[in-house]
C-alpha cells in the first residue's frame, strides 16, 4: 500500500528553534468555539492544547456562563461569552484559524454558530458535533480539517461504523472527495488524507488515549500548529503525530487511568524536540 508512515524527523523544519525577535503575533491566533451547557471542559482542553504547541494567542467563544470559570483555571486563554451569532463577528475577524465543535452540542445555538463559521472563509478545524451538523449539510471546502472518529465518519458518509472500520482508508478517501480539505480518521492507526498528498498513517498512540477529551486535545493541537503558518496537510500530519507521541510519553506511567490533560506537559516536550 502506497502510504506514508509519519515520523517526527520528517517535520524538523517546523520544529526548529524560534527566532530571537519573535513575538506572540508571530505564531497566530486560534479561536476555539464550543462548550454548550455541561461541556465547558471540551473547549478548555482544546484551548490549552493550542497554547502548549506554541500558538501565540488563543481565544474561546462559549456560553456566557462558562467564560468566567474558564478564565480562572487558565488565565492565558481569552474567554468570550456568546449568546447571539452576531457577537462572533469581531472574534472571527481576528482569528488565524478556527476550531469549532468541542462540546458544541446540536441545539439551535450550535446550528446558527456552525453556519456562521462555515461562511467565514477562514481556515477551520471541524470536530465533534460540528461534524454531526456538517453531515446534514454536505458542504465542501478546501481550507478545513475534519477530524471524525469512526462513528462521526459513518454519519458523514451515511453508512455504518462497521463498514467504516472494514476499510478505513477507502472511507477517509471518500470523505475527502465529498467534503474537501484534509481528513483525519481517528482510531488505532489514525489516517490523514488530503487531495494532493499520499495518505499518511500514524502508528504512534496507545489505548490509554481512549478516554474523554483526547479528541478535543487533538483539535487544539491541529489549530495551534495551523496558526503558526504551517501548510494545511503538513500541520495536520504533524499534529496527529505530536498528539500520539505525547500520549505514548504519558502512558509510560500506565495506560489505565490516563486522562486527556495528562498530555499537556508532553505536548510541550515533543514540539521542542
The 10s digit of each residue's pLDDT in 169-225 is 999 999 999 999 999 999 999 999 999 999 999 999 999 999 999 999 999 999 999
**Which residue stretches of 101-231 are H helix?**
108-118, 128-134, 150-157, 161-166, 168-179, 214-226
DSSP 211: S
Could you count the other beta carbons within 10 Å of the beta carbon of residue 24?
10
pLDDT, tens digit, 9 for 90 and up, residues 141-185: 999 999 999 999 999 999 999 999 999 999 999 999 999 999 999
Instruction: Tell the residue number behind the cell numbers 460540528, with chain if given.
Output: 130
- Domain map (residue ranges) of the chain: 27-271
For residues 8, 10, 13, 15, the Cα torsion angle rounded to the nearest 10 degrees is -10
Q: Are 146 and 134 in contact (CB under 8 A)?
A: yes
Task: Using a pLDDT cut of 70, give the percent of the chain over it.
Answer: 100
Angle at 142 between CA 130 and CA 147, to 5 degrees: 35
Instruction: Tell the residue number behind the cell numbers 505536548, with chain if given.
Output: 267
Architecture of domain 27-271: 3-Layer(aba) Sandwich (3.40)
Q: Residue 246 contacts by C-beta under 8 Å, 6 or more apart in sequence?
A: 263, 266, 267, 269, 270
Q: Kindly provide the b/e burial profile for residues 121-154, where b requires at least 16 CB atoms within 10 angstroms of the residue's own CB.
A: ebbbbbbbbbbbbbbeeeeeeeebbbbbbbebbb
**92 grid coordinates:** 472571527
What would the mean pLDDT of 117-135 be, rounded to a whole number?
97
Rounded to whole angstroms, what are the CA distances from 98 to 51, 126, 145, 196, 226? 14, 8, 10, 23, 10
**pLDDT score, position 1:** 58
d(CA 4, CA 198): 7
pTM of the model: 0.98
Amino acid at each position: 500500500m502506497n502510504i506514508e508512515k509519519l515520523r517526527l524527523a520528517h517535520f524538523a523544519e517546523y520544529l526548529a528553534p524560534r527566532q530571537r525577535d519573535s513575538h506572540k503575533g508571530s505564531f497566530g491566533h486560534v479561536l476555539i468555539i464550543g462548550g454548550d451547557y455541561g461541556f465547558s471542559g471540551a473547549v478548555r482542553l482544546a484551548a490549552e492544547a493550542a497554547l502548549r504547541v506554541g500558538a501565540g494567542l488563543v481565544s474561546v467563544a462559549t456560553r456566557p456562563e462558562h467564560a468566567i470559570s474558564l478564565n480562572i483555571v487558565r488565565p492565558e486563554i481569552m474567554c468570550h461569552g456568546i449568546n447571539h451569532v452576531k457577537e462572533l463577528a469581531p472574534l472571527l475577524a481576528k482569528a488565524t484559524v478556527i476550531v469549532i465543535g468541542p462540546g458544541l452540542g446540536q441545539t439551535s445555538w450550535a446550528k446558527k454558530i456552525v453556519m456562521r463559521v462555515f461562511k467565514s472563509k477562514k481556515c477551520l478545524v471541524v470536530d465533534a458535533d460540528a461534524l454531526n451538523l456538517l453531515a446534514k449539510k454536505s458542504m465542501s471546502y478546501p481550507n478545513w480539517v475534519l477530524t471524525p472518529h469512526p462513528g462521526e465518519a459513518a454519519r458523514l458518509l451515511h453508512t455504518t461504523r462497521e463498514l467504516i472500520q472494514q476499510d478505513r482508508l477507502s472511507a477517509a478517501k471518500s470523505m475527502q472527495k465529498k467534503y474537501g480539505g484534509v481528513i483525519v480518521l481517528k482510531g488505532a492507526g489514525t489516517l490523514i488524507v488530503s487531495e494532493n498528498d499520499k495518505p499518511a498513517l500514524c502508528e504512534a498512540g496507545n489505548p490509554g488515549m481512549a478516554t474523554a477529551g483526547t479528541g478535543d486535545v487533538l483539535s487544539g493541537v491541529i489549530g495551534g500548529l495551523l496558526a503558526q503558518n504551517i501548510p494545511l496537510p503538513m500541520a495536520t500530519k504533524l499534529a496527529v503525530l505530536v498528539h500520539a507521541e505525547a500520549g505514548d510519553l504519558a502512558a509510560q506511567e500506565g495506560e489505565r487511568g490516563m486522562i486527556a490533560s495528562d498530555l499537556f506537559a508532553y505536548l510541550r516536550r515533543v514540539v521542542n524536540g
